Amino acid sequence: MSKTIRIVATVVVVFVTSVAAMAQQNNDTSSPYSRYGLGKLRDYGQGRSSAMGGIGIGTRFSDQINTANPASYTAIDSMTFLMDFGLSSRHTEFKSATSKNGDNNTNLSNIDISFPITHWWATVLGIMPYSDKGYQVNLTSEVEGNQIATDFNGKGTLTKVFWGNGFNITPNFSLGFNAWYLFGTLSDNIYRNYLTDPNMYDYSEVKSLMIHDYGFNLGVQYHFKTKSNNQWVVGGTFEPSQKYQSKYTLHQEKALFRGTSNQITDTLTHIEDRSQLTKLPVTYGAGVSYVIKNKITLGADYYHQSWSQATVFGQTPSYLTDRNRYSAGVEWNPNQYSIRSYWNRAYYRMGMFYENSYLYLNGTQINSYGMTFGIGLPLSRSRSTLNLSAEFGRLGTTSNNLLKEDYAKLTLHFLLNERWFIKRKFD
């Protein structure tokens, strides 16, 4: 019992610390594309699915928390406590038609805990980012002999703290829901300075969006065995269009001799508007997987968000379009019960994805694609696992005066797997 209490106390401390860290962190991106809309949207797949192209809507794992579909929570053993803690590091090379550079981002990606309520009901508590802004672009131009330096920068993270539940309706059919509190602030700033004429007013603009409200999504899964004892899983998720309480702020000013005792400042615009709710899009997805002899898992997902009907900053920007993601993955475990070979107990994974993003810029939809690879390493004398994955991908293009991003992303997930709720004869 004392061991259980220590684990619970550790989980509570880690969870509370993670909430504070994610609320303040800046974030998973340095992409100039995060300037638009709600920034860079996080993927819904995590844990072992990160190495399988991000699939998860149609997969069920007895030893993994799968937040992509809350109906999958019922797959977790009724005597098992799970905690998944994730970290990711991303290196990106940016390339335009005339220049290139690179940047790195490392951050906490998620923390989830799961435990059973009854043999037909499992619950999950977790925290994960929803989207990030994190960019800085500096431009220098010349107008009528005056050199003008313009700085564009943005930052912020929207975070979900969620409570999920899965229910077995029949032995082969389950449904579930995730309910969350979405919160955070996204800001975009512009500063324009006349370098060669100190008597010209500079210009400053600060635009921010603060969101804080509740939302939910639903999931279903149906699974069955074949005559050869293989398993099919079919799943679906749905999230209705939901309006979120938000505060939109716009402040514009010009200043002469900024930062000196002779500074002259003139406010051009100051708006604080709470009347325009932020409306996120209808979202739905479908997935399927096939498990062969408990050794090989094959799966594929389709995911859609109707961003062309969403409202951001009190309006529906013309650059928003519908998002579609296609992903597929495979996992192979030679023999999870092997005694002689550690590497036979490991899990080997790979996958791929293609995505039409929610951005339509310069007459072009910004698309991405990539490959994923990974391995699940069982820890000695433990049911716990270390999941490592790598993703290599590309976002955007250099055509039509746009930007291409080539990136490599490494992800580490530690999965704590403990047997609970067992009455022991000896302690």
pLDDT digits (tens, 9 = 90+) for 225-266: 999 999 999 999 999 999 999 999 999 999 987 878 778 888
% of the chain beyond a pLDDT of 70: 92
CA separation for the pair 377, 303 (Å, rounded): 29
State yes or no: pLDDT of 1 exceeds 50. no
CATH of 2-419, one of 1.10.1200.10, 1.10.10.10, 3.40.1410.10, 2.40.160.60: 2.40.160.60
pLDDT digits (tens, 9 = 90+) for 152-201: 999 999 999 999 999 999 999 999 999 999 999 999 999 999 888 888 88
Backbone angles phi, psi at 307, to 5 degrees: -70, -20
State yes or no: pLDDT of 26 exceeds 60. no
The pLDDT value recorded for residue 11 is 60
Mean pLDDT of the chain: 90
State yes or no: pLDDT of 267 exceeds 70. yes
% of the chain beyond a pLDDT of 90: 69
pTM for the model: 0.90
Ranges of each domain in the chain? 2-419
CB-based contact 75:167 (threshold 8 Å): no
Greater confidence (330 vs 7) lies with 330
Single out the residue of 201, 179, 217 nearest to residue 57, CA to CA. 217
State yes or no: pLDDT of 25 exceeds 60. no
State yes or no: pLDDT of 92 exceeds 70. yes
Specify the DSSP element, H or E, that contains 418.
strand 404-419
State yes or no: pLDDT of 293 exceeds 80. yes
pLDDT digits (tens, 9 = 90+) for 394-427: 999 999 999 999 999 999 999 998 877 555 555 5
CA-to-CA separations, 366 to 42, 312, 327, 360, in angstroms, rounded: 16, 18, 17, 6
